[in-house]
Structure 1
Amino acid sequence: MAEIRIRNTEERIKGEENVRAFLNQQEVLYEHWDASKLSTELQDKFVLSDEDKAAILSTYESEINDLAGRRGYKTWDIVALSDATPNLDEILKKFEEVHTHTEDEVRAIIAGRGIFIIKGTDDVGYFDVELEAGDVISVPENKPHFFTLMENRQIVAVRLFIEPAGWVAQPFQDPSFQK
């Protein structure tokens, strides 16, 4: 279940309804899918074949179609990252800079853990959203953020797009941001 840490105050927000309410105030969509739907053999697998990816998309087909229909997403794929990923540190460096997109950044976490760092309202500042299997988040277009892995350095996620080109990161310079 997702957990939030507000960076300025170190306050932690736990529990699905509390997380959803806080993120809703920050204009960030949060939902939860049933992580147990995924076959046991795929739940802890972070190097995926094309067949594995197809099985994941098939397992969550109704959830993906529902979210896509409500939000206008037209295409989706699977991203899998772990220490087995070639050049993982270089890939993460690209992710770990505050940026924006011209469309939502959507992740449905299927396995592993990840974290979004998001710029909230002025009274909140930056906050971390720690995600695990079953958590679904959509950071709205033009909202400064970045995504990275947590200490386990393993994640499988469904990414949804309106247009993959709209997901290209636009750097966001913010002197108030501290890693």
Structure 2
Amino acid sequence: MAEIVIRNTNERISDEAGVQEFLAKQEVLYEKWDISKLPDELKENFTLSDEQKARILSTFDSEIKDLAARRGYKIWDIITLSEATPNLEELLAKFENIHTHTEDEIRAIVGGKGIFIIKGADDLGYFNVELSPGDVISVPENTPHFFTLMENQKIVAVRLFIEENGWVAHNYDDPTFVKA
């Protein structure tokens, strides 16, 4: 279950209804997938072969196709990050820059944990969305944000795209942003 931390106040929202209500007000899509559908050998496996990635996509085929039909996504893939990922620290440093995209950035978490840091509307400031397996989130286009890993530095996620070349990040300079 996702949890929200509002950075300006340290308020934490951890009940499902509260998370859904908060994210809906920020126009952030949030859904849940039934992670129990995933075969045991693919749960918490962070060094996936291409065949195993294909099995994950097949397992969630109906959910992926439903999202694609509703939101116009055309392609999807699996991303895995862990201590086995070459240049993990360099990749994370690149991810941890505030940016926007001209399309939604969506992730369905299959294993591990991650955080989207998103700039809220009006005077809310930034908030963290801490994600666990089964959480699906879509940050709206042109919304300042970035994604990073939690302390375990492991994640497996389905990503969906409208553009066939994937998201193009546009840096967003915000002197009000303070790293946690």
> TM-score normalized by structure 2?
0.98
TM-superposed deviation, 1:17: 1.7
**1:45-99 deviations in whole A, cap 9, x for unaligned?**
0011001000000000000000110000000000000011000000001100000
Runs of at least 5 residues in structure 1 that lack an aligned partner in the other structure: none
> Within the alignment, does 1:6 sit opposite 2:11 as a pair?
no
Partner of 1:97: 97
TM-superposed deviation, 1:165: 3.4
What secondary structure is seen at the aligned counterpart in 2 of 1:36?
helix
8 Å CA contact 1:101–1:166 kept in 2: the answer is no
> Within the alignment, does 1:66 sit opposite 2:66 as a pair?
yes
Partner of 2:118: 118
Partner of 1:25: 25
Identity of counterpart residues, as a percentage?
Answer: 70
**1:11-58 deviations in whole A, cap 9, x for unaligned?**
001122211110010010000001111011110100110010000000
TM-superposed deviation, 1:121: 1.1
8 Å CA contact 2:80–2:156 kept in 1: the answer is yes
- Matched letter for residue 18 of structure 2: N
- State the Cα RMSD in Å: 0.8
What secondary structure is seen at the aligned counterpart in 2 of 1:167?
coil
Partner of 1:151: 151
Partner of 1:76: 76
8 Å CA contact 2:74–2:164 kept in 1: the answer is no
Distance 1:165 1:27 in 2: 25
Counterparts of 1:128-167 in structure 2, within 5 Å, are: 128-165=128-165, 167=167
Q: How many residues align?
A: 179
Distance 1:104 1:17 in 2: 23
- Matched letter for residue 100 of structure 1: T
Partner of 1:55: 55
TM-superposed deviation, 1:166: 5.4
What secondary structure is seen at the aligned counterpart in 2 of 1:19?
helix
Distance 1:2 1:174 in 2: 26
8 Å CA contact 2:114–2:132 kept in 1: the answer is yes
Distance 2:51 2:17 in 1: 35
TM-superposed deviation, 1:164: 3.9
8 Å CA contact 2:81–2:155 kept in 1: the answer is yes
TM-superposed deviation, 1:103: 0.3
